[in-house]
Amino acid sequence: GDPKVPVLYQVERTRTGKSFSVRSVKAIQHGKPIFTCQASFQLSQGSPVQHQFTMPAVPPPEELLTQEELIQKFLQNPNLAERYRKHLNKIQAEDVPIDIKPVNPPDVFCWEPQEPKQLFWVRARGYIGETDMKVHCCVAAYISDYAFLGTALLPHRQYRVRFMVSLDHSMWFHAPFRADHWMLYECESPWAGGCRGLVQGRLWRRDGVLAVTCAQEGVIRVEPAPNQSKL
């Protein structure tokens, strides 16, 4: 989409029930759809059928470095090749409104394949407060897309990304949360093939409650890296 051009939203009332309702939304710019969404809503209901996975045991965010601090650490290495230094400086210059603390950051000097799993502590920068829960859900949707599809590339670090974009993104909201509080983002990629990758994610509150589940499929086109040495 173009942030300089107004967006026209067409909303269709697909279904309106007593407990569940569905709305279909199409966002249009320049007369063409740029985004489609199907949103389901439910009235709050109690149920004796309840369970969830167990939150991974990880160090608290206070004990970890931010993504900016990790990048700065890499940049201090005098042997870092200039092209990788430029790439890291470009990442550092991005104005990302998210605080990110990787639990097990990948080694920038290592090209060995890694398991397609990542863990991040994430939160929105700044104060959002006790506002409408829908605001926190919108912020979580933004957070959930950051570095998500890249999980599928961890076993294939010998390649350089030529093109990567999301095809679809789904989210299920399970429990109230604050997007400006630290949450653990657990990401994994169970499958990749046919120039596509599938990733799944879980956003955990610090108290161990599973707040959000995510899934995304995207196009991933790669090419062999010209030189695997970063030194």
CA–CA gap between residue 1 and residue 181 (Å, rounded)? 29
Rg (CA), the chain: 20
Tokens of 230: 């970063």
Q: Which residues are catalytic?
A: 145, 166, 216
